[in-house]
Amino acid sequence: ELKVEQNPLFLSMQEGKNYTIYCNYSTTSDRLYWYRQDPGKSLESLFVLLSNGAVKQEGRLMASLDTKARLSTLHITAAVHDLSATYFCAAGAGSYQLTFGKGTKLSVIP
C-alpha cells in the first residue's frame, strides 16, 4: 500500500525567507503531484513530476523529484503573504489512484 508523508505539517515563516516542504512516499510511484488549497476552497494543481531528477518552477515555488530516494521537495523562495495556504503532495501508482499526504499548512507572516 502506497503511503505518503509530508513534513512539516505546519510551517510559519517570515516574508522574504526560504523554506522547503518534504514529501516521502513508501513504494514505487510513477508520478508525483503538488496541489495548493486555500481555506474553504478547492485544490489547485501546481506541479506534476514524472521522472527522476524532474524539476519544475513557477514563480517563487520550485518542485523536484528523486525517485530513488522516494522524495519530492517543494522549495519556497523569498516567501510572500500570498503563498499562505495548505500544500498537498500526492503520489500515483498506476492509473486512477492518487494517495495524498496530510498537507502542510503554510503561514507567511510579515
Partner 1 sequence: DTAVSQTPKYLVTQMGNDKSIKCEQNLGHDTMYWYKQDSKKFLKIMFSYNNKELIINETVPNRFSPKSPDKAHLNLHINSLELGDSAVYFCASSQEGGAQETQYFGPGTRLLVL
Q: Which positions lie near partner 1, rule CB under 8 A?
A: 31, 33, 35, 37, 41-45, 48, 50, 86, 88, 92, 95-100, 102-103, 105
Q: How far is the CB of 67 from partner 1 (least distance, A)?
A: 15
Q: Residue 85 is placed in which grid cell?
A: 495556504
13 neighbors 109 (Cβ within 8 angstroms): yes
Q: How far is the CB of 97 from partner 1 (least distance, A)?
A: 6
Number of neighbours of residue 35 by Cβ within 10 angstroms? 20
Number of neighbours of residue 30 by Cβ within 10 angstroms? 12
1 or 110, CB closer to partner 1?
1
15 or 38, CB closer to partner 1?
38
Q: How far is the CB of 80 from partner 1 (least distance, A)?
A: 23
Per DSSP, the residues of 56-77 read: EEETTEEEEEETTTTEEEEEE-
